Amino acid sequence: MKNILVLNAGSSSLKFAIFSGRELDEILHGQVDGLGSTPVFAAKWPGGTAHSGAVPDLPRDAGHAKALAAVLGWLRDNHNGPETLAGSGHRIVHGGDIYTGPVIVDDLVLANLDELRSKAPLHLPFGISALRRMRQLAPELPQVACFDTAFHADQPDTDVRLPLPRKFHEKGYHRYGFHGLNYEHVVTALPDLTGKPLPKRLLIAHLGSGASMVAVKDGTGVATTMGYSTADGLVMSTRSGALDPGVLIALMRDEGMDLKQLEDLLYRQSGLLGLSGISGDMRELLASEDPRAQAAVDYYCYWAARHAGSLITALGGIDGLVFTAGVGENAAPVRAGIVNHLNWLDVAVENQRNVAGEMEISPPDATCPVWIIKANEELAIAHHVRRMLKG
């Protein structure tokens, strides 16, 4: 099989990676950041060779469509044009109730995705835009949509249903869960990395700018912190996480907030940024001597552990814990802060291992191992593309 291109479009970025179609070895990866303002391009080959700087022929205020065209041109100039590809995979945040697994994209699929925009208005438009543009630029190349919600599709009704009148559930108002592509990667990669079977009761903490946790039993997700939207659950960089709905009613009634203002408050002004008044970036908060920064970090760890306790209840115990994504992989004080609240469950980290960022950071004789696994949504997508094209 020829190579596989993977695209992951965010609100202001476009990540890309190319994998060999045979072994799924990564050939190169890169991204364009700063879309809509000042685009910055970076790419790297596994051997360590890197390229960075301005994107060729890309204007300052370019969006995803122009960025994708520029990336494809750069790939072609570096011997990875469309003629070298078997297909392209796309990270799509939401599949709704329609798509609970990857799908080869045609006009009907694209129309269905457009209908789902309202379920994830801050995420879906970018993925759909990249998908639509890729079909225009390489019309003969198969496109495969892979969904973050799919990993959670088999959760029990008690974990999915919202306590609202049944008619709303039938209209699609229920818990979906997100970050599923990376959860899938962790579940697949962990046994290979440890040389041991997957723990029966596994808790995975995807801690990045967006953050969630999932309870995995016998390899299947059974409960997660994010629900109908990506604003639910854990405190995040600028998103509130779980919030008493009565507060929203009061903000509308007493503060005169409209829908747009509420959305901006919950998604862009809250979380770590709102708590600290300094930044939503965990790196800045950990480096700050301002007591508000430390208070925000403490709050983040405490409530992450509270949510972890809920998921451990769904599992009936815990046999393993994984930290993944930007904060989970790189912020040793956060990992320690969360685990310290779980010591009563015999969950612990060894300080030296944790600070060094080793793969296994728990004591050697731990009854509940704790690991750090690098996030890799792109590899999970490449697996799906290869399987779909072969199938």
On whether both 265 and 368 belong to a single domain, the answer is yes
Same domain, 81 and 8: yes
Res 143 pLDDT > 90: yes
13 lies in the same domain as 94? yes
252 with 134, same domain: the answer is no
Total-model pTM: 0.94
Residues with Cβ within 8 Å of 312's Cβ and at least 6 positions away in sequence, in order, are 201, 203, 215, 318, 345
Please return the burial class of 383, using the count of CB atoms within 10 Å of its CB with bins 0-12, 13-18 and 19+: buried
Amino acid at 164: L
Same domain, 122 and 210: no
Domain end call among 147, 181, 210: 147
Do the domain assignments include residue 346? Answer: yes
Q: Is 368 inside a domain boundary?
A: yes
Burial of 301 from C-beta contacts in 10 A (0-12 / 13-18 / 19+): buried
Distance CA 259, CA 239 (A): 16
Last-in-domain residue among 90, 122, 147: 147
Measured distance CA(230)–CA(234) in Å, rounded: 10
Q: How many domains does the chain have?
A: 2
* Residues 148/93, Cβ–Cβ less than 8 Å: yes
CATH number of the domain bearing residue 14: 3.30.420.40
Are 66 and 141 members of one domain? Answer: yes
Question: Other CB atoms closer than 10 Å to residue 50's CB: what's the count?
Answer: 11
Mean pLDDT score of the chain: 93
Q: Is position 236 within any domain?
A: yes
Q: Is position 181 within any domain?
A: no
Question: Model confidence over 51-83: pLDDT tens digits?
Answer: 766 666 677 777 788 888 888 888 998 888 889
Domain assignment present for residue 98? The answer is yes
Cα–Cα distance, 90 to 111 (Å, whole number):
16
Give the whole-angstrom CA distance, residue 342 versus residue 301: 11
User: Do 125 and 209 have their domain in common?
Assistant: no
The question of whether 148 is a catalytic residue gets the answer yes
- What was the pLDDT predicted at 78? 86
pLDDT at 96: 93
Among 132, 147, 162, the domain boundary falls at: 147
- Per-residue pLDDT of 153-190, as tens digits, reads 999 999 999 999 999 999 999 999 999 999 999 999 99
From 57, 148, 244, 281, the catalytic residue: 148
What is the rounded CA–CA span in Å between residue 334 and residue 355?
11
How far is 390 from 383, CA to CA, in rounded Å? 11
239 plus 329 within the same structural domain: yes
CA distance 372 to 358: 7
In a domain, 259, yes or no: yes
Quick one: which H or E segment has residue 188?
helix 180-194
- On whether residue 130 sits in a domain, the answer given is yes
Same structural domain for residues 143 and 207?
no
DSSP 118: G
- Domain assignment of residue 200, given as a range: 196-372
User: How high is the pLDDT of residue 77?
Assistant: 87
CA-to-CA distance for 379 and 88, rounded, in angstroms?
A: 12
Q: Are 308 and 342 in contact (CB under 8 A)?
A: yes
168 assigned to some structural domain: no
Within this chain, do residues 251 and 142 fall inside the same structural domain, yes or no?
no
Burial 19-40 (b: 16+ CB within 10 A, else e): bebeeeebbbbbbbbebeeebb
